[in-house]
Structure 1
Amino acid sequence: MLVKVFPGKRTGSAIYEGFSPSAFYSLAREDFQAPESGTYYAAVSSAGGEGNYGVVLGYRERFSLSEWLSIPLRQIKTYRWEGQSLLFIFLPLGMTLAAGILVILHKKEDAAEFNPARWAGLFSGLFFLGTGFSLIFQMLYSLSRSSYSPEVIITVFLALASSGFGVIALVLSMKDERYGEKSTQKRLYFFVLGLAGLLFWAGWILGPILAFEAAVLPWKRKG
């Protein structure tokens, strides 16, 4: 039986990953071809005690449609793997939703006239914005534990995209309900926002779903 041992060595600072965003230590890296087809086993041990670890096999990243769409949920698992609490993970999103709800309640007379389409549009915008703030929040947290990396640009781009989707959704939702009433313009905008949210992992999946709801629900004024 062939056994290969790859000793690990902890680097001085963690490596920043821009898509999640997150930070991790790369302890060992080896590039070799498997000598033959079959079943291989990997064992990880540490003299320093227990801890979380990850093993990456291969050098190509390919995602199925379901895997791509579920990446926001996988991000939560990554943050939990890092030791973050759910409260810490969802703090930026929760604050965004709370601020949005407070603004709406401040204008409760206007809110009483909102129809389901407008509510869906408003909350899709808040979820998109919350994603943008969450990305910046996680970026700053990860950079506090790692060295600077050019992948910060990736995180900033994703955060700006999510925030942009949120602003557009909020502006569309607050426009006069007669805007686009005789056409499919507003519904088309929300449909595109839903697709863009899924493509750029914005809105924690709920944002795109709400955008699709705003695209199919009627926008006519109540009563």
Structure 2
Amino acid sequence: MVKMGIHNFATIVIFSSTLSLIAYAFDPSPLQDFCVALGDIKSAVFVNGKFCKDPKLATANDFFFQGLNIPRNTANKLGSNVTLLNVDQIPGVNTLGISLARIDFGPNGLNPPHTHPRATEILTVLEGVLYVGFVTSNPNNTLFTKVLHPGDVFVFPIGLIHFQLNVGKTNAVAFASLNSQNPGVITIANAVFGSKPPISPDVLTKAFQVDKKVIDYLQAQFWTNN
């Protein structure tokens, strides 16, 4: 058996790690839906529309938000309210790849099926009982669900459709952490039936295999963003 000294072992580990970094190198995650390339920089905008403050001028307030303990109003069609703290609310998270959300639910309140195109979410229930779940991508479209109680945690992988429903008899509160300063959100019903301009009914009747009257009805609804 060949004996390996600690220095040789360390060298191999470092070399292997370097190869790993090279093998898995990729572009950084986008911070906006798209970025059209421009030849004239005078017409360009900064990525995510943010400038960086001189570090010498930064203050504690740049990294601070107050009032997340205050219950939000859930008197809407969905019976829920999402308070997102991203780079727009806390400038100090710019480039740090994190954001936070408080989600309030009235009885039977729903955070409807949606996706975050740029972030994985980890949800922690503080009050109430939530039925949560996500659906995997094609071709299986497997549904993973759990009923969560205070102190329970659930993860929604990046880009997958997920939801939360209050199945308790009282209000519910959860906090969600996301690994992007601007995770984005696409609410499925809003995007499909509330797009501007509307998607052609010919597309939707065939996609959902329903009568055009059903599509007309759904497109006539007032779809609210949560």
The alignment's TM-score, normalised by the length of structure 1, stands at 0.24
Please identify which structure carries the higher strand content. 2
Larger RCO, structure (CA 8 Å, separation 6 or more): 1
Please identify which structure carries the higher helix content. 1
